Amino acid sequence: MVEEKKQQVQGVFYTQTEEEVLSNLGTAVEGLSDAEAKKRLASYGANQLDEGKTKSLFVKFLEQFKDFMIIVLMAAAIISGFFGDVTDAVIIMLVVVVNAILGVFQEAKAEQAINALKMMSSPHARVKRDGHVVTLKSEELVPGDIILLEAGDVVPADVRFLEIASLKIEEAALTGESVPVEKSMNKIEDAEVGIGDRTNMGFMNSNVTYGRGIAVVVGTGMNTEVGKIADMLATADETKTPLQENLNQLGKYLTIAILVVAAVMFVVGINGGKEAIDMLLTSISLAVAAIPEGLPAIVTIILALGTQKMAKRNAIVRKLPAVETLGSTEIICSDKTGTLTLNQMTVEKVFVNGTLQDASEAIDTTLPIVQIMTLSNDTKISSDGSLIGDPTETAMVQFSLDKGLDVNGLNTSEPRVGEVPFDSDRKLMSTINELSTGGYQIATKGAPDELLKRCTHYVVNGEVKPMDQEMHALILATNHNLAKQALRVLAMAYRQVDAIPAEMDSEVVEQELIYAGMIGMIDPERPEAKDAVATAREAGIRPIMITGDHRDTAQAIATRLGIVEEGNDDAVITGAELNELSDEEFATAVTKYSVYARVSPEHKVRIVKAWQKKGKIVAMTGDGVNDAPALKTADIGIGMGITGTEVSKGASEMVLADDNFSTIIVAVEEGRKVFSNIQKSIQYLLSANLGEVLTLFIATMVGWTILTPVHILWINLVTDTFPAIALGLEPAEKDVMKQKPRGRNSNFFSNGVFPSIIYQGIIEGGITLGIYWWAITFPVHAGYDAAHLDASTMAFATLGLIQLFHAFNVKSIHGSLFSVGAFKNKSFNWAVLLSFVLLAATILVPGLNDAFNVAHLDSYQWLAVFVASFAIVPIVEIVKFFQRKLVK
């Protein structure tokens, strides 16, 4: 029963007449009875959004352990603890648990966005029940209810208008259109029109800015356009970030490699006559040495440091992996209104005295055009100086204020004594003002073509002349030229009379007018947005504009920003045209389009998914409710902090505190730096671990006992962690924003990192084995035990110290150490020094050397250790030199 009624309510009411709508809903203009309303409330449910399924805190915590790398680390911890290596097991488990706790608190959930949608709803509505107007909670509304709306109200449900009086509704949060929509009662023939073109409808959570109206409720709760968005948010798939995918991939590769090496080592040792239990412990030690157990914590710390830097530059990150995702972004799908533009209608052109000029040029505020746009205007100036009213009208008052006109003084000295309100049919508004010099003035503004029909004269430089064909043609040509630039054009005219007109209607008031001029308005692009678009292109990122605004407006702004070339109509597509393309056709053609106009929320999601199917990493920016599903679907959603709704911010991974599009480019640079630094840390950790594995493996194969598990654990603890974290603070390399995005198919081993890990790990292992061989072959102290202790200590010191020297090599994957600044990063310098002190203390501090089973080294042995360890720096520099030559 409920489902059947819901299907009825989903009809395309905008294609029906008022009588058909009322008949289909089983209601009348007098409203429903209380009894019928109660029945319908029981059938349809409350007019509110569903809560959706929420997960408990415990379930969210458990989900953090599904990551493959985390599972590997936990297995290593359990095995280590089982064989007595409790310290290592505790450290690994601590890292895993802390990482899971951070994951729970960093995770942005869909219910936050849905709760924000609910907060936007109107708490009360004026409703006709049993023929009387009553105020009810908006949750009690049902389809068929007759409601009354006026300026300042929030539309409480989806409605079809039955009566209107100069009604305008601001729907930017839902449609993306930058100016309020003038409503009508005319039925619409095309059932496929987008939300922005359904002018006889009102939508839940939109705002009435002007006029009044009576409407019938046609959809409530989840059966509204906002409800559809809430459903899309609740059912949208969580997209794994490239970082998460790469870490999973890395974990799998490492696990397979480690298990293979450990198994080979175990089998070779058994065949060589060694005890099975000894080889098992040795194999486990090798596996523990190979696993970079600090990697999740190090990645988290580097990301957290990146979020702090972004926050200082007005980019607030809500999900840590989003920091890195920005750096790999290839497509930025940006909403127009409020993101690329100011979301503030602004006068841009003025046609006065027969000449077109920029709004920035000086103008005499006593000219009729300025006086009319100020007087024929319902804008109010609040006590704090802000303007309240229709955005088009506030733009005109703001223009007058900017030019130095005392607006309040003018309205006081020439008060309004009558008016003919705006009407969407005649497209004009007139006021009658009492002049301080005596008599009255009719001030009229409206559509140029309509106003021109009522003008018999025009004024130029204070001289009133009869309207002639030449001026008539010039006005029409100028209007056409401004409209081609996607400017909204309004004309001004006036007439002075001796007495207040007897009848306040258009036929009496708006006749024999004197044409004063025209203004062209637009929601202008942000001043910094054009440079940001250019920087994005240079960085290999393609900007895409997606808006609910009209095609011409969208194309004009996109052209001015450099998103499309002048006159490239083929790069622009509307939502209606997009509907005609199948998914297969759109997938083929998606690369052709850079501007999408008059689109719905479903279109935005479809566009994002089409690019993702192309293998692209997509960022989506937006500030409205209509952007939320696409923000959640994209690889990274970027909400606006100032103009953005709580819904859009709740669905985003990152929020711009200053609503500045250029901040995205700053964040992209930071994201690229973060990935580069994580890559450097991984290269450092894995090459070091490979050096340890090769040292243990080859030593075991030849029958040497070089390092014990405690040696490996200590080296991992003091030389891996601090330098790896400090590498996360490396400044961005000079050409980071001139490189192409790394893309979804790249990983931590891309860009030559994998071969670097291999050859650098071999060098580290080879030098460590070499120093052990040299020390055991040419002992300083007599006796095998003393010589072995010295050699083992020198190998321990060399393996640790070589990693610290190698950390300097990793400051740049291919660039020379001298080009990036060896000691530029002070945090890195202190990290290396701290690691060295902790490493040396085990050898130099009495008592500690016994605990670690190492010997004191003399100056000759220390010199050998330093020379051998430092050798990795020039070796890697030489290799990188030839790598750069080969690339060129």
List the catalytic residues.
335
How far is the C-alpha of 149 from the C-alpha of 159, rounded, in Å? 11
DSSP secondary structure of 640-667: ESSS--HHHHHT-SEEETT--HHHHHHH
How far is the C-alpha of 313 from the C-alpha of 712, rounded, in Å? 41
Element (H, E) at 422: strand 416-423
How far is the C-alpha of 672 from the C-alpha of 685, rounded, in Å? 20
* Tokens describing residue 681: 């840390």
**660 phi and psi, to 5 degrees?**
-100, 120
Pairing between β-strand 463-466 and β-strand 315-317 as defined by DSSP bridges: unpaired
Nearest to 391 by CA among 510, 493, 490, 518: 490
Residue linked to tokens 């790249």 = 746
How far is the C-alpha of 190 from the C-alpha of 593, rounded, in Å? 25
Q: Which residues lie below 8 Å from residue 641, measured CB to CB, with a gap of 6+?
A: 314, 316, 649, 655, 656, 657, 658, 659
Question: Is the CB of residue 611 less than 8 Å from the CB of residue 331?
Answer: yes
Q: Which residues lie below 8 Å from residue 34, measured CB to CB, with a gap of 6+?
A: 129, 130
Question: Is the CB of residue 516 less than 8 Å from the CB of residue 369?
Answer: yes
How far is the C-alpha of 147 from the C-alpha of 134, rounded, in Å? 9
Element (H, E) at 429: strand 428-434
Provide the H-helix boundaries in 210-364: 225-235, 242-271, 276-290, 295-312, 321-327
Residue linked to tokens 């100086």 = 385
Nearest to 171 by CA among 192, 212, 202, 150: 202
Question: Is the CB of residue 571 less than 8 Å from the CB of residue 544?
Answer: no
